[in-house]
A and B are shown apart, each in its own frame.
Chain A
């Protein structure tokens, strides 16, 4: 304590000093109240993250003894150790990673080609192609999953990771992002290559793609997010635990144990599901916000 206290005082001193210096520019009373209100809403928004962090670090006995306590009586990583020892959990994790890798790769190839064509070619039936992208964006997932399941059955892909990944290989949001980016690339650049005798595929691969880094980054992030967080489709397609993705496995485990839910274990699982996306988000939030704002969809 004696070591900590002086630093705290110094810190506050600095704050007071800054406040005093900032006074002429003026933090007016309404603004201060607004900061307080925003901080309050931010606190409520972050509360669930606090609960999961605290709950995952509590022991089984600790939670049983006092389920509603805010903080662990003693911090333990036991839940995480038990989680990775749980039958199937590492399979779910690997499945989620594999499906996400397939989806991201598919979107980088299929969506960038489609977006590029929609932006840079005038061709017969362009309106139809654009209409297809709009339809893919707007037809609700919940309305088509039964026939999608029948199609998947006929393709022999039920209960496989390929069956889970296939419908997400060319997400409309990725196509919109690439199309928007490609529109901004000057036609003269492509035309010059054409005059030099380069074929269209070569122009796309060698000239456009190397320029499209930021758009490809956004596509990578958005399609990873869509795949990692996808729930209803893997729930329908994965019938045995060997094909479960992380969210499906976690939901199934918690529902199987409805009455005697081992909250510590479940919350540790929740952390493992949440963390990759939240870490990416903290470092690359610009891309997330751009991606979501582009179409208003996750």
Chain B
């Protein structure tokens, strides 16, 4: 009977497992395999022409100035994007949770809207607004500044690309922080307030310690997002100008476009390794809930 029930359970899981095996399990192993070969796009119909090259692709990646630069660019996305997104999400969650008593729903809707908005559409708006003669420079001009060509300047493109990332993601951070804040008991706050603890002290000594799991969860999630950042730089600059906004994910895509499947897989495996390290932490954080 239990064997029969096991069989039935696996049958229920079958459609998912089929998709999982074909599109996650096999590709993950294959990506590792490809990364050790000189597979090219033209080899797909003649697989025997492919040679095993060991770790050559990885050696090439780390001696390639372009990949090393892209690693650095990705680090900038993570190190600037994650804290900005978290800070904005946290402050807004605090304000919505305890600061105001009316219109919470309205504000939450507004701040969450970017999360569900199509990125291709927003990227077009960004290009329109940050154009040399765009709306943003119109504002700059009214203050007497001659606005630059934001997305055409190697020093300014990155901040504009990161801004799009922050705009898209702070709503997620806010919702997760709001959920975390609901778990902070009201009476502890009231007791501390009666004892004369001010707002800052209560925030620092009561709210923050209780929020540590949420803070960890949000920072891990956002780190995984930004490590894989692709849409924003691809759509706004295609990695330019002068490669100043090319992320590792975009490098992977560009090498794929050149038909360098082996090299592309090696680069994608570097992303996988980085994400795996962060995800192991995430798994440990999520397990109590799961």
Residues of A within 8 A of B (CB): 30-31, 34-35, 37-38, 41-42, 45-46, 48-49, 51-52, 55, 67-70, 106, 109-111, 113-114, 116-118, 121-126, 129-130, 132-136, 138-151, 153, 166-167, 169-170, 175, 200, 204, 225, 228-229, 231-232, 236, 247-248, 250-251, 254-255, 261, 263, 266-267, 269-271, 273-274, 277-278, 281-282, 285, 288-289, 292-293, 296-298
Contact = CB atoms under 8 A, between A and B. Distances in A.
B215 interface: no
A247 B31 contact: no
Interface of B: 2-3, 5-6, 8-10, 12-17, 19-20, 22-28, 30-31, 34, 44, 92, 95-96, 99-101, 103, 107-129, 131, 133-138, 141, 167, 172, 175-176, 179, 217-218, 221, 224, 227-228, 230-231, 235, 238, 249, 252-253, 256, 261, 264-265, 268-269, 271-272, 275-276, 279, 282-283, 290
Given A140-B228, A142-B268, A170 B15 contact: yes
A225 B256 contact: no
B22 A151 contact: yes
A295 to B, nearest CB: 8
A146 B135 contact: no
Contacts of B126: 48
B22 to A, nearest CB: 6
A140 B272 contact: yes
Contacts of A281: 109, 112-113, 116
B138 A70 contact: yes
A201 to B, nearest CB: 8
Contacts of A67: 131, 133-134
B138 A125 contact: no
A296 B217 contact: yes
Nearest to A254: B124
A113 B103 CA distance: 39
Contact of B271 (A51, A111, A143): A143
Contacts of A147: 26-28, 30-31, 34, 265
A121 B7 CA distance: 10
A144 B28 contact: yes
A121 B118 contact: no
A68 B12 contact: no
Contacts, number: 290
8 contacts: A67-B133, A117-B12, A129-B17, A142-B249, A145-B253, A146-B261, A150-B261, A167-B19
Contact of A232 (B2, B24, B176, B230): B230
B20 A136 contact: yes
A34 B99 contact: yes
Contacts of A225: 116
Contacts of B3: 124
Given A38-B100, A138-B283, 19 more contacts: A31-B99, A48-B129, A68-B134, A68-B138, A113-B13, A116-B12, A123-B6, A129-B10, A140-B224, A142-B252, A142-B253, A142-B271, A143-B28, A143-B31, A144-B28, A232-B230, A267-B124, A270-B122, A292-B175
Given A153-B44, A232-B253, A45 B138 contact: no
Contacts of B110: 42, 45-46
Closest 4 CB pairs of A and B: A68-B138, A270-B121, A147-B27, A110-B15
A36 to B, nearest CB: 11
A121 B12 CA distance: 10
Contact of B44 (A141, A150, A289): A150
A236 B240 CA distance: 20
B16 A170 contact: yes
Given A38-B95, A143-B269, A31 B100 contact: yes
Contacts of A289: 108, 112, 175
Contacts of A129: 9-10, 13, 17
A138 B275 contact: yes
A298 B116 contact: yes
A73 B127 CA distance: 21
A273 B6 CA distance: 44
Nearest to A236: B256
B111 A123 contact: no
Contacts of B128: 51-52, 55, 263, 266-267
A68 B162 CA distance: 22
A277 B8 contact: no
A83 to B, nearest CB: 12
A269 B124 contact: yes
Nearest to A131: B283
A277 B118 contact: yes
Contact of A267 (B19, B30, B125): B125
B10 A271 contact: no
A121 B175 contact: no
A109 B15 CA distance: 9
